[in-house]
Structure 1
Amino acid sequence: MSKNKAQTGEKAATAAGKSLAGKKATKTEKTAAASAVSQAPKSEGQTGKKAASAAGKVLNSKKATKAEKAAAASTLAQTPAKSGKKK
């Protein structure tokens, strides 16, 4: 996979931090939020398959807050692009 140079913005990082600190956030929501925080500026994190899957579930959740969905969207935006070639 190629490296994605996108990073979590300040608003999304703040939303992700709130999700991590929230007592009502599910494990899936916290996984997506943690991935977003790990990709804040000055970090070289990339979204893995597990975090991308969790982020997708958060975006589809009717119970997720706006902040949790913002963090999940940021996480998905930073998923490395797949190259068309198989190794």
Structure 2
Amino acid sequence: MSNNTKKTSGKIATLAAHTLNSPTSSATARSLAASALAQKSTDKQTSAEMEETAGKVLGSDKYNEDTKALAASVLSQANKAR
């Protein structure tokens, strides 16, 4: 299995923390934020389920720019072989 060595940037990690602390954040945004933070300082990669969620977010007009930024970050850290 091919590994993706990308890590979440400080800017995205800050956005993710704000998203998790905001009472108005959607469940989808919170899931993406948690995934992004889990990949900040570890070798963890995006799961297939989160890849699918991130792809749907990026293809939808329903989500705001912050949620799309989290989705893009999570998707960029996906397993290269999938």
Name structure 2 gaps, 5 residues minimum: none
Name the structure 1 match of 2:26: 26
Please, what TM-score do these two structures have when normalized by structure 1? Answer: 0.79
Name the structure 2 match of 1:46: 45
2:54 is matched by which residue type in structure 1? A
Please, what TM-score do these two structures have when normalized by structure 2? Answer: 0.83
Name the structure 2 match of 1:9: 9
**Measured at CA, do residues 29 and 51 of structure 1 come closer, stay the same or move farther in structure 2, by a change above 3 Å?**
same
- After the TM superposition, which parts of structure 1 deviate over 3 Å for at least 4 consecutive aligned residues? none
Aligned-residue offset at 1:24: 2.4
**Measured at CA, do residues 24 and 13 of structure 1 come closer, stay the same or move farther in structure 2, by a change above 3 Å?**
same
The count of residues paired between Structure 1 and Structure 2 equals: 82
Aligned-residue offset at 1:31: 1.4
What is the Cα-based RMSD across aligned positions, in Å?
1.7
